[in-house]
């Protein structure tokens, strides 16, 4: 995914968190901020409770791949942060995709 599709800076993360609009399921929490922009941006957060660095990076890759597969269905005017909860490290890529799709529908980000 291109850098222009990512929320990277701490201030941008805080802007989304301070808006306090979130949805969750058992595996993910999604914070959403509506903005006036030409495409969506996503930030991914996987905490140390999930596992070691190798495990956390594997989870981030699965989330990134799922978001990339859904990019045509995601509304363009949103910044959103995906936070992985414990247990996500045991899921396959298909299960990550299913859970992420579910939570994005709850957040009304998918078209």
Q: What is the pLDDT of residues 47-99, one digit of tens each?
A: 999 999 999 999 999 999 999 999 999 988 899 999 999 999 999 999 999 99
Count Cβ atoms below 10 Å from residue 14 Cβ, excluding itself.
10
Q: Which of 29, 54, 34 is nearest to 44 (CA)?
A: 29
Instruction: Return the structure tokens found at 108.
Output: 């009304």
Q: How many CB atoms lie within 10 A of CB 42?
A: 21
CA distances from 92 to 24, 50, 97 (A): 19, 15, 9
pLDDT in tens, 37-48: 888 999 999 999
User: Residue 87 corresponds to which tokens in the numbers above?
Assistant: 């247990």
CATH 3.30.230.10 fits 10-107, yes or no: yes
């Amino acid at each position: 995914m291109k850098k222009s599709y990512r929320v990277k800076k701490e201030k941008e993360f805080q802007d989304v968190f301070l808006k306090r609009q979130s949805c969750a399921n058992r595996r993910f929490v999604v914070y959403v901020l509506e903005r006036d922009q030409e495409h969506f941006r996503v930030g991914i957060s996987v905490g140390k409770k999930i596992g070691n660095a190798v495990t956390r990076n594997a989870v981030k890759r699965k989330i990134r791949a799922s978001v990339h597969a859904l990019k045509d269905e995601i509304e363009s005017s949103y910044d959103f942060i995906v936070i992985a909860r414990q247990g996500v490290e045991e899921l396959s890529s298909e299960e990550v995709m299913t859970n992420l799709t579910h939570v994005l529908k709850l957040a009304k980000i998918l078209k």
